Homo-oligomer: A and B are copies of this chain.
Amino acid sequence: MPYLEIARLEKSFGANRVVTDFNLGVEQGEFISLLGPSGCGKTTVLRMVAGFERPSSGAIRIGSEDVVGKRPNQRNIGMVFQAYALFPNLTVAENVGFGLKIKGARRDEITARVAEMLALIGLPDLGARYPFQLSGGQQQRVALARALAPKPRVLLLDEPLSALDAKVRVSLRNEIRAIQRDLGITTIFVTHDQEEALSISDRIVVMNAGIADQVGTPFEIYNRPTTRFVANFVGQLNLFKADDAGRIGGVAVGQGDFAARPEAVHLGREAESDIVLPATVEEVHFLGSVIRVTAAAAGARIALDTFNRPDMPPPAVGSAVELSLSSRDLIPLK
């Protein structure tokens, strides 16, 4: 039986139903991401687990105890917010110790636990600072330490990286994942950024209009999307339409529409590729390690990714090229 279980959860605001029949079992120590566009209901699910919203119906069980009737301050759940939400009048150490103080812990216990937490987040010397003296990334780390200090049963992260710079975002997400693995704490992470969800989750729940469209590991979600929405929202997609005989580029693939990831399409012929299409380069975007080329082929715009090579400048816009891909890499779309 899963440690955290959400069963037939529904939530409506007036006539507006924002979460529909949401079911999820989270194992102890698992890192789950709720991924979806804004307004898909992912934050509402998180807030119902935290107790800030009351479900219209359904059950939320932690360690087989139903918590729906409990107030947020009785649930023993740690939460990290997008806006950091550190108490501005308290020092870093007082912030981290706040939950323990509320619980009535002894002063020396609090001091020890705060020191432990500050060491964990790599800021052992900043206990006496005030939040406004810290950078955004540091503040969010302190918020994480504060949430973890009272040893919560579940850790909830509500878009904790959205307010940060690109570089800090990447390093902090790796740090969060490392700490979560260390402590083995059951975690739910809400994000609208597919790369974020793919990079740090054990499993991802892709949500669309209040419904969980697909649940699976990042590799499954990306390579075997089960709905058109998931295929489109997670990663970039090229759409191929088979001709009346069920062929693409002369190779029989079956009827219908197919998708191919940009990295499955190659510039020039490759040994493993059975489909070869003549194409014209339309756009070249140098992104750093990856060069994204957009080419017109078979009446469609095909995006493909290729690694930067110092000895080979990117192809020129307007030049004629051949694209190749393997029919095994085509994802049939329903």
The chain B residue with its CB closest to the CB of A329 is: B310
Does chain B have a CB within 8 A of A235? yes
Cα A313 to Cα B218 in complex, Å, equals 11
Is there a chain B Cβ closer than 8 Å to A30's Cβ?
no
- Known contacts A219-B313, A263-B307; is A289 also within 8 Å of B289 by CB? no
Q: Quick check: which of A79-87, A106-114, A195-203, A249-257 contacts chain B, the rest being far away?
A: A195-203
How many copies of the polypeptide does the oligomer hold? Answer: 2
Q: What's the dominant secondary structure at chain A's contact region?
A: mixed
The answer on a CB contact under 8 Å between B199 and A308 is no
Set of chain B residues within 8 Å of A192, measured between Cβ atoms: 165
Q: Which residues of B contact A261 (CB under 8 A)?
A: 289, 308
A165, A200, A285, most chain B CB atoms within 10 A: A285
Closest to A233 in B: B167
The listed residue (B218, B219, B305, B310) touching A289 by CB distance below 8 A is: B305
**Interchain residue pairs A-B with the least CB separation, the first 5:** A223-B310, A263-B307, A263-B289, A199-B285, A218-B286
Chain A residues at the B interface, C-beta cutoff of 8 Å: 165-166, 174, 192-195, 198-200, 218-219, 222-224, 234-236, 261-264, 283, 285-290, 292, 305, 307-311, 313-314, 328-329
